[in-house]
Amino acid sequence: MPEYPTMPESPENAATSSARPEPILDVQNLTVAYGGVTAVAGVTFHVGPGELVGIIGPNGAGKSSTLLALAGAVRGKADRLTFEGTSLLGRKPEQIARSGFALVPEGHHIFGALSVSDNLRLGEVARHGKGRGKEGLAATREWVLELFPILREFLGRPAGLLSGGQQQQLAIARALLSEPRLLVLDEPSLGLSPTAIDTVFEAIAAVQRAGTAVLLVEQRAQQTVAAAARTHVLGEGRITMTLGPADATDAELLAKAYLGS
């Protein structure tokens, strides 16, 4: 079992180490290369159950490649890459999605020709054969629509007619309907208005309060660092720095995180 440098353990309390919860997502030395070009060059981090972990960094830092490798959409190599103890390496995206891991990809990618309601139904596909039964599904639907009331108004409307912010809400709602234990978001605030960004960040906080772990990849450093237990700064495929919530007010540090030290 890997040990984490965050909590040194003396030999006598090693037996009670199960008190520290197993990470729900464990990434050790992940690399992703496209042809000869390395996009992710050995990234190590973890997400604990119910935790919100952030990843920030400039364009091309390897953020999306990291997430796509976790979701099985691109091939990655790693010393260890597990979700709830099961290796994600070599598994198909649909298998990973059905195991309680939901990725909201960058650019939300809703199905524009389908109704909002059908988009949400597609979110339930990954829930199939597990979850909390019919009553549980009704409760999840209700919770998701309370989280994003605007969607309830537009259920019968083609999703392509929604605004950018509404489409992002739909993409997150769709992912939540699979009742994931880890919600992974790739730049959910991209291209949204300030009001829409606030709605999305509030929803993310509510999801975490409900007990779902969240891995949030963002360009909006300040908001992410403030919300996350840990925020890893990614630059040129490597983690260059890890920040805590207290660093959110340190404008100089955030600027340095982005520009590279």
Partner 1 sequence: MTSFLQALIDATSAGAVYALAALGIGLVFGVLRLANFAYGEIITASAYTLIIVWPINPVLAVLGAAVVGVAVALLMNYAVFSWLRSQSAATLLIASFGLSILLQRIYEGIFGANVLSASVASGLSTSVNLGGVRLNLLSVVTIVLAAVLLVGVQLFLTRTSIGLQVQAASADFRIARLLGVRSGLVIAVTFAISGFIAAAVAFVLTVQSGTVGPSFGVQPTLFGLIGAVIGGLRNLRGAVVGGFVVGVALSLLTSWLPPEINPFRTAFVYLLVIAVLVLRPNGLFSAGAGKVRT
- By CB under 8 A, tell whether 97 contacts partner 1: yes
Q: How far apart are CA 1 and CA 178, in angstroms?
A: 30
- Minimum distance, C-beta of residue 193 to partner 1, in the bound complex (Å): 22
Show the CA angle centred on residue 182, arms to residues 163 and 3, nearest 5°. Answer: 145
Q: How far apart are CA 167 and CA 47, in angstroms?
A: 27
- Minimum distance, C-beta of residue 114 to partner 1, in the bound complex (Å): 6
Task: State which of residues 28, 44, 111, 154 lies at the interface with partner 1 (CB under 8 A).
Answer: 111
Contact (Cβ atoms closer than 8 angstroms) between residue 254 and residue 222: yes
Nearer to partner 1, 21 or 160 (CB): 160
Contact (Cβ atoms closer than 8 angstroms) between residue 179 and residue 140: yes
- By CB under 8 A, tell whether 125 contacts partner 1: yes
- By CB under 8 A, tell whether 91 contacts partner 1: no
- Minimum distance, C-beta of residue 122 to partner 1, in the bound complex (Å): 5
- Minimum distance, C-beta of residue 1 to partner 1, in the bound complex (Å): 29
Order of strands, sheet of 230-235, starting from the edge strand that comes earlier in the sequence = 101-104, 182-186, 213-218, 52-56, 230-235, 238-243
Q: Per-residue x/- mask for partner 1, residues 152 to 171, rule CB under 8 A?
A: --------x-----------
Q: Per-residue x/- mask for partner 1, residues 24 to 63, rule CB under 8 A?
A: ----------------------------------------
Q: Would you tell me how many other CB atoms lie within 10 Å of the CB of residue 248?
A: 19
- By CB under 8 A, tell whether 250 contacts partner 1: no
Task: State which of residues 118, 198, 236, 250 lies at the interface with partner 1 (CB under 8 A).
Answer: 118
- By CB under 8 A, tell whether 89 contacts partner 1: no
- By CB under 8 A, tell whether 134 contacts partner 1: no
Torsion region of 172: left, alpha or beta (phi above 0 gives left; psi -120 to 50 gives alpha): alpha
Tell me how far CA of residue 17 lies from CA of 13, 21, 48, 114, 193, in angstroms: 7, 8, 14, 49, 45
Residues near partner 1 (CB under 8 A) are 71, 73, 92-94, 97-98, 103, 105, 109, 111-114, 118, 121-128, 160, 174-175, 178
